[in-house]
């Protein structure tokens, strides 16, 4: 059953002001929310559509031009009209870091509201979620990690940044998720891997590629990963590691390799130096060194499906 959101929550999730939401409904019937005692109520599908419309406007289209398009047409238009279409992810990453300065200033002050506001502003301004990853999310996480190792950033500041980035990534996943897809990817991290940002990023890239996302979260025991894959008939299990695996984690990976359905592909991200075949004797895992490698595999999966 679809969840419904009041207009204030819809504005927060989509980055569209209350007045604009009302105007789009009144003038263009861009979406027609339910009416209840609490006022307007927006479904998950309408939230997703509003995000697509907002991104179309960010690419230069007018609301009058796009309000009558179906969601499928909107997605196709966004993919085709992106100024970065056809470029490699590394090329998209070369955006000026000046755009990140307001985020850093807010973070230096431990100003959680300003940090959230500035990250949301960038999410609205940047046309595609993949560009948000390469131009905003990854540079911010790399820098906060570097500063933490240098003793110039506290754990609290890292948590503030991660929490607000995760909120934006989650909204992107919700906006781009599709129910009828040719292939579905189950995304998790194994036991004792508690860093959620990498797998949330992977889930967002998967949704943006037009594939189904089965996001089951971080710190998940191997039997539960296998059970979820079987119950959802996942085409791929994608696990993320933030550090080189210890013997316990290697045992978890070996369990998944042995117990996962043979038709299910196994992808592992975040451990480029690991030779799993040498370490555990298994051969099913495909190692992905970075998010660019993940995107290549996602495109190949779409092409095969």
Examine the pLDDT at 284 and tell me if it is beyond 60: yes
Residues 75 and 94 in one domain: no
pTM: 0.70
Q: Exposed, middle or buried, 227 (CB in 10 Å: 0-12/13-18/19+)? A: middle
Mean pLDDT of 29-40: 85
Which helix (H) or strand (E) segment holds residue 212: the answer is strand 212-220
Residues 123 and 9 in one domain: no
Range of the domain at 122: 89-175
Mean pLDDT of 105-124: 89
Question: Would the CA dihedral through 18, 20, 24, 27 be positive or negative?
Answer: positive
- How many domains in the chain? 3
pLDDT of residue 264: 96
pLDDT band at 95 (very low <50, low <70, confident <90, very high): very low
| Count of CB atoms situated within 10 Å of the CB of 76 | 12
Mean pLDDT of 239-254: 89
Tell me how far apart the alpha carbons of residues 59 and 80 are, in angstroms, rounded to a whole number.
11
The enclosing domain of 147 has a CATH number of 1.10.1240.10
Examine the pLDDT at 84 and tell me if it is beyond 60: no
Give the tens place of pLDDT for each residue, 53-78.
887 887 778 888 899 998 878 877 77
Residues 93 and 193 in one domain: no
Domain boundary among 46, 81, 116: 81
Tell me how far apart the alpha carbons of residues 283 and 27 are, in angstroms, rounded to a whole number.
58
């Amino acid at each position: 059953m679809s969840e419904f959101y009041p207009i204030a929550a819809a504005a927060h999730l989509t980055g569209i002001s209350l007045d604009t939401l009302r105007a789009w409904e009144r003038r263009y019937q861009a979406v027609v929310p339910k009416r209840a005692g609490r006022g307007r109520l927006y479904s998950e599908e309408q939230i997703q559509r509003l995000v697509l419309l907002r991104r179309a406007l960010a690419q230069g289209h007018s609301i009058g031009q796009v309000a009558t398009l179906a969601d499928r047409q909107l997605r196709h238009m966004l993919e085709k009209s992106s100024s970065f279409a056809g470029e490699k992810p590394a090329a998209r990453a070369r955006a000026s870091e000046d755009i990140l300065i307001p985020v850093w200033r807010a973070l230096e002050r431990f100003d959680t509201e300003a940090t959230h506001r500035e990250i949301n502003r960038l999410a609205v301004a940047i046309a595609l979620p993949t560009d948000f990853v390469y131009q905003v999310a990854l540079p911010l996480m790399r820098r906060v990690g570097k500063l933490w190792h240098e003793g110039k950033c506290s754990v609290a500041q890292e948590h503030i940044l991660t929490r607000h980035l995760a909120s934006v990534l989650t909204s992107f996943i919700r906006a781009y998720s599709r129910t009828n897809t040719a292939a579905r990817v189950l995304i998790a991290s194994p036991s004792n891997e508690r860093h959620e940002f990498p797998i949330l990023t992977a889930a967002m890239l998967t949704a943006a590629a037009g594939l189904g996302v089965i996001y089951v979260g971080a710190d998940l025991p191997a039997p539960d990963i296998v059970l979820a894959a079987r119950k959802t008939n996942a085409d791929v299990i994608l696990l993320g590691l933030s550090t080189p695996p210890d013997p316990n984690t290697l045992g978890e990976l070996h369990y998944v390799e042995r117990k996962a359905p043979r038709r299910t592909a196994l992808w592992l991200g975040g451990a480029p130096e690991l030779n799993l075949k040498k370490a555990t004797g298994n051969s099913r895992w495909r190692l992905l060194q970075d998010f660019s490698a993940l995107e290549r595999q996602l495109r190949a999966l779409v092409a095969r499906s």
